[in-house]
Structure 1
Amino acid sequence: MRPHGPWTRLRRGPVRVGRKSTTREPIIQESETYETQEPGAVEPEATRRDAGGAESARANRGWWDRNADEYQVEHGTFLGDDRFVWGPEGLDEIEAELLGPPEELKGKEVLEIGAGAAQCARWLAAQGARPVALDLSHRQLQHALRIGGSFPLICADAGALPFADGSFDLACSAYGALPFVADPRLVLREVRRVLRPGGRFVFSVTHPIRWAFPDEPGAEGLSVASSYFDRTPYVEQDEEGRAVYVEHHRTLGDRVRDIAVSGFRLVDLVEPEWPAWNTSEWGGWSPLRGNLIPGTAIFVCERD
């Protein structure tokens, strides 16, 4: 059972491509095929075990390619086509202004990492920004093409960004990439590299405290079931022991240290409260839990 809940499956992660291209055109291909789970197939085994960078990237790209269609059906209404939402609580960027006032986004070069169907990038474009949407999953980016938008879609690895140094003014990631990578510092350093001096990177992840609780929306999800300090990855694997989904846990202190060591300055840490209007319940997310324990942590970082 996931310690995080299905929202982390909202977005995204990495797949390796060449580095330091300056292209701003879509580079996704239409010829790839996707494995689908056959009816009656054995459900993956959920476990906690080590999983390295290559295994995590391979598993998560496959998971998102296989499940993108179902995901967009299930969560597309909540996300909208051009809404910038930071997490399941429903905190909207137009209200939070974590990237800055909307009127100041005009003309800014913005990289969205783990973009999924590029809802956030589409909102940024509507504010006059010049976004680039990057994701590991080809299938998710096909949904971005389906919805539309006049900005580049890049299928690439968050740990090897295919952009020149100092290409962007801002970067953002709403539940994208960082929960799924074995080495978050690699991603953070790459983001710092492609940002210009003074650039801001804002990213959200499942709040680390959620890893200590069962992934249940009701009262059974309010009692600590495992050690918060156990950083062993959560893995779903097939009958041969091959990972088909991987998520990595970092404590709150780990996240802060990762940010500092990677050359960023943490300027804010936002823990959204569950709003009264949000009556949604899915997986481990619910008004009951949301009103008692945080579900999302948003880190606002700046490059000096």
Structure 2
Amino acid sequence: MTHEPVGDVRRRAADLAETAEANRRWWDAEAPEYYAEHGAFLGDARFVWGPEGLDEAGVHLLGDVSGRLVLEVGAGAAQCSRWLAGQGARPVAVDLSIGMLRQGRAIETDAPVPMVQADACRLPLGDSSVDLACSAYGAVPFVADSAALMQEVARVLRPGGRWVFSASHPVRWALPDDPGEAGLVVRSSYFDRTPYVEEGLNGDAVYVEHHRTLGDRVRELVAAGFVLDDLVEPAWPDDNEATWGGWSPLRGRLVPGTAIFVSHLA
């Protein structure tokens, strides 16, 4: 499968259906190339929270996972879920893209995990059925209604269960997606929630991301019944010289690139 050619890139409205269809098709086509490019950094059974390289093995944002049923939302090829399985957890990896899940099936490790294709806003799990939920750069910015996603995660979590997710730091939406000095100049309004859309030659969306401010995210969590325990903004480590899209040592040492929301269900 190959990507549809991109005809235009702009900020415009994109509803639930257009967003889901575009991103499903995009990641179905992108999966092998994405793994080839980033697989060495992500590992096959590693839980890394973002391009800075912050590793769950060292920070323990999820707490004790042994024996816990853990839902990974927007799991991609399920690298994080494999790490969780290796720590004694019982993970379930959910992703919209069958291509990403197939890539996950192609990864051979000693810790296979259950994988399910599903929309993050319509999880095929019962109420109060999981102990923990997590997402490392997963579904949150790739759905049109992230408030509904928070509510759906709350539905499947048991009371007291943690929900920890990472995404691009919202401040990055005010800056060009450029790893060099051009990416350090504010070009857009931080308060503009208009989605970023790449369009095919026919004008239909082929890739969509949705922006929310830090305040938006906090309000979404609180409205769904979560208590925000921490907001982690990883500093760029001195030993990381890698560039990943708009993430780079130059930018990462000056402005945050990742926001990690640590919460629990009240």
Give the secondary-structure state (helix, strand or coil) at the position aligned to 1:196: strand
CA–CA distance in 2 between the matches of 1:279 and 1:166?
42
Equivalent residue in structure 2 for 1:161, among 112, 116, 123 = 123
CA RMSD of aligned residues (A): 1.0
The question of whether the paired residues in 2 share the 8 Å contact of 1:273 and 1:290 is answered with yes
CA–CA distance in 2 between the matches of 1:45 and 1:236?
6
CA distance 1:72–1:168, change in 2 (3 Å)? same
Equivalent residue in structure 1 for 2:179, among 205, 213, 217 = 217
> Following superposition of structure 1 onto structure 2, how do residues 128-139 of structure 1 map, counting pairs within 5 Å?
128-139=88-99
User: Which residue pairs with 2:77 in the alignment?
Assistant: 117
Give the secondary-structure state (helix, strand or coil) at the position aligned to 2:30: helix
Residue 99 of structure 1, CA deviation? 0.2
CA–CA distance in 2 between the matches of 1:283 and 1:51?
23
CA–CA distance in 1 between the matches of 2:25 and 2:78?
19
Equivalent residue in structure 1 for 2:104, among 130, 134, 144 = 144
CA–CA distance in 1 between the matches of 2:22 and 2:258?
24
User: Which residue pairs with 2:23 in the alignment?
Assistant: 60
User: Which residue pairs with 2:2 in the alignment?
Assistant: 36
Residue 146 of structure 1, CA deviation? 1.0
The question of whether the paired residues in 1 share the 8 Å contact of 2:101 and 2:115 is answered with yes
Equivalent residue in structure 2 for 1:75, among 38, 59, 74 = 38
Work out the percentage of aligned pairs sharing the same amino acid. 63
User: Which residue pairs with 2:50 in the alignment?
Assistant: 87
CA–CA distance in 2 between the matches of 1:44 and 1:122?
37
In structure 1, the gaps of 5 or more residues are: 1-34
CA distance 1:217–1:195, change in 2 (3 Å)? same
In structure 2, the gaps of 5 or more residues are: none
Cα distance per residue 1:233-286 (max 9 Å; x no partner): 000011211000000000111111111111111010000000011000132111
Cα distance per residue 1:111-133 (max 9 Å; x no partner): 00111110000000000000000
The question of whether the paired residues in 1 share the 8 Å contact of 2:70 and 2:91 is answered with yes
CA–CA distance in 2 between the matches of 1:124 and 1:84?
8
User: Which residue pairs with 1:30 in the alignment?
Assistant: none
> Following superposition of structure 1 onto structure 2, how do residues 264-283 of structure 1 map, counting pairs within 5 Å?
264-283=226-245
Higher RCO (Cα < 8 Å, 6 or more apart): 1
Give the secondary-structure state (helix, strand or coil) at the position aligned to 1:159: coil
The amino acid that maps onto 2:42 is L
Residue 106 of structure 1, CA deviation? 1.2
- 1:247 and 2:213 correspond: no
CA–CA distance in 2 between the matches of 1:140 and 1:151?
14
The question of whether the paired residues in 1 share the 8 Å contact of 2:6 and 2:198 is answered with no
Residue 44 of structure 1, CA deviation? 3.3
User: Which residue pairs with 2:250 in the alignment?
Assistant: 288
The amino acid that maps onto 1:223 is V
Give the secondary-structure state (helix, strand or coil) at the position aligned to 2:178: coil
CA–CA distance in 2 between the matches of 1:95 and 1:150?
23
User: Which residue pairs with 1:15 in the alignment?
Assistant: none
CA–CA distance in 2 between the matches of 1:278 and 1:44?
34
